[in-house]
């Protein structure tokens, strides 16, 4: 009987403990499916906007979204570590903007083995490297960067009347996004015999590097009348170098991404144009795609996002 009485005295306490535990589980965000978005960096407004679009969609769909990025776009190793940690955490879907289109493939394969669907966003993962490794990507969401490069090239050809000396600020060498933009830009200029690219150098998608590289280019090629940068961050660095050389207004600068500061520079006539993507829409579409995958639905292999010229 003493044992029975002891149990009876404990029952109310146990009941309260179980109730608290149940309430905690019900309010815990871990009860939601966890989706990861890994971008190139969060030091770039483009990816901040992408995160905002993704978070808005996640909130409306009841998804727990975790967002991670290395400090710099060139830090492929750190991004791979982030992805591998998320695989260990067993996220349900991986939304990935790769810093290295080829280098990231081993991490994608690990996600495949763990049965975590991978959706590439903005930047394609190299198809040949994927095939060689036996890895797969479920879907690609992004703009046609090569077409955007052609838009930028055609704008400069038309603006300069088909004649001019052109400088190019490349992105991170070997990265698919910037490489596609360069291909499109060079294709557009190839049709204008009077347009000549006299300098083409990487600035790693960073403003400080773009400033330094542009300074050197202006000193070596004082006759430059146009400059194409593979993103707006570099374009803004180039504008600073052009201003420091007292060349504002004499060099037509075209960027890529249509960031707020680039739009402002265009309105102030310091910059010629930029190519507008829609990173918020990319983020939104990526999370919606993740939800469809969680529901067991099929998703398109290609999901294009429109681009346009802002001038």
Instruction: Between 10 and 179, name the one with better pLDDT.
Output: 179
- Tell me, yes or no, whether 56 and 169 share the same domain: no
Residue in 114, 165, 108 with CA at minimum distance from that of residue 137: 108
Q: What is the pLDDT of residue 269?
A: 96
Residue 31: band (very low, low, confident or very high) from pLDDT cuts 50, 70, 90: confident
Q: What is the pTM of this model?
A: 0.83
Residues contacting 121, CB < 8 A, separation 6+: 37, 50, 95, 96, 97, 140, 141, 142, 282, 283, 286
Packing angle of the helix pair 232-244, 207-220 (nearest 10 deg): 50
- In this structure, is residue 17 part of a structural domain? no
Read off the pLDDT band of 305 (50, 70, 90).
Answer: very high
Closest CA to 165 of 250, 96, 105: 250
Secondary structure letter of residue 100 according to DSSP: S
Query: Do 34 and 122 sit in the same domain of this protein?
Result: yes
Q: Are residues 248 and 283 in the same domain?
A: no
Pair (160, 243) in one structural domain: yes
CATH of the domain at 242: 3.40.50.2300
Give the mean pLDDT of 171-181: 89
- pLDDT one-digit tens code per residue, 198-236: 999 999 999 999 999 999 999 999 999 999 999 999 999
Q: φ, ψ for residue 116 (rounded to 5)?
A: -105, 115
Task: Please indicate, yes or no, whether residues 263 and 156 belong to a single structural domain of this protein.
Answer: yes
Query: Which tens digit of pLDDT belongs to each residue from 116-152?
Result: 999 999 999 999 999 999 999 999 999 999 999 999 9
Strand partners, 201: 169
Q: Are residues 155 and 258 in the same domain?
A: yes
- The verdict on 180 and 114 lying in the same domain is no
Give me the pLDDT at residue 10, please: 38
* Contact in structure between 307 and 146 (CB atoms under 8 Å): no
Spatial CB neighbours of 233, under 8 Å, sequence gap ≥ 6: 44, 205, 206, 207, 210, 257, 259
In a domain, 298, yes or no: yes
Three-state SS string across 273-302, please? EEEECCHHHHHHHHHHHHHHHHCCCCCCCE
Element (H, E) at 42: none
Q: What is the mean pLDDT of residues 188-206?
A: 96
> Does 4 have pLDDT greater than 50?
no
For residues 36 and 99, state if they share a domain: yes
Taking only the tens place, the pLDDT of each residue in 276-290 is 999 999 999 999 999
Q: Say whether both 246 and 271 belong to one domain.
A: yes
Asked if 90 and 190 sit in the same domain, the reply is: no
Q: Are residues 206 and 294 in the same domain?
A: no
Domain that holds residue 241: 145-276
> Residues 6 or more apart from 267 whose CB is under 8 A from it?
none
Which residue in the block uniquely carries the two structure tokens 């960027």?
Answer: 255
Whether residue 156 sits in one domain with residue 128: no
Mean pLDDT of the chain: 91
Given a cut of 70, is residue 15 above it in pLDDT? Answer: no
Report d(CA 226, CA 165) in Å as an integer: 6
- C-alpha distances in Å from residue 16, one per residue of 13, 20, 24, 25, 29: 5, 6, 12, 14, 22
Lowest mean pLDDT among 26-40, 43-57, 79-93, 199-213: 26-40
pLDDT tens digit string along 59-94?
Answer: 999 999 999 999 999 999 999 999 999 999 999 999
């Amino acid at each position: 009987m003493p044992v029975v009485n002891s149990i009876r005295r404990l029952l109310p306490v146990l009941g309260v403990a179980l109730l608290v535990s149940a309430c905690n589980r019900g309010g815990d965000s871990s009860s939601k499916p966890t989706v990861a978005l890994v971008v190139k960096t969060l030091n770039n407004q483009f990816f901040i906007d992408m995160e905002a679009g993704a978070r808005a969609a996640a909130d409306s769909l009841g998804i727990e979204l975790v967002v991670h990025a290395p400090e710099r776009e060139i830090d492929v190793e750190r991004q791979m570590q982030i992805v591998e940690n998320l695989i260990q955490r067993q996220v349900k879907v991986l939304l990935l903007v790769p810093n290295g289109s080829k280098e990231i493939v081993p991490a994608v394969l690990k996600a495949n083995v763990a049965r975590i669907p991978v959706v590439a966003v903005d930047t394609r993962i190299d198809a040949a490297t994927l095939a060689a490794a036996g890895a797969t990507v479920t879907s690609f969401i992004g703009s046609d960067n090569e077409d955007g490069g052609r838009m930028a090239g055609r704008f400069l050809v038309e603006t300069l009347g088909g004649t001019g000396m052109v400088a190019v600020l490349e992105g991170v060498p070997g990265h698919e996004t910037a490489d596609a933009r360069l291909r499109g830009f060079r294709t557009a200029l190839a049709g204008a015999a009077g347009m000549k690219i006299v300098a083409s150098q990487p600035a790693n998608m960073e403003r400080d590097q773009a400033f330094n590289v542009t300074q050197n280019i202006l000193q070596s090629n004082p006759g430059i009348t146009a400059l194409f940068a593979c993103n707006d961050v570099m374009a803004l660095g180039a504008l600073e170098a052009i201003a420091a050389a007292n060349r504002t207004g004499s060099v037509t600068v075209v960027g890529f991404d249509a960031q707020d500061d680039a739009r402002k520079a265009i309105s102030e006539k310091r910059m010629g144009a930029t190519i507008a993507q829609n990173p918020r829409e990319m983020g939104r579409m990526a999370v919606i795609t993740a939800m469809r995958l969680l529901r067991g639905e099929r998703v398109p292999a290609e999901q294009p996002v429109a681009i346009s010229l802002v001038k």
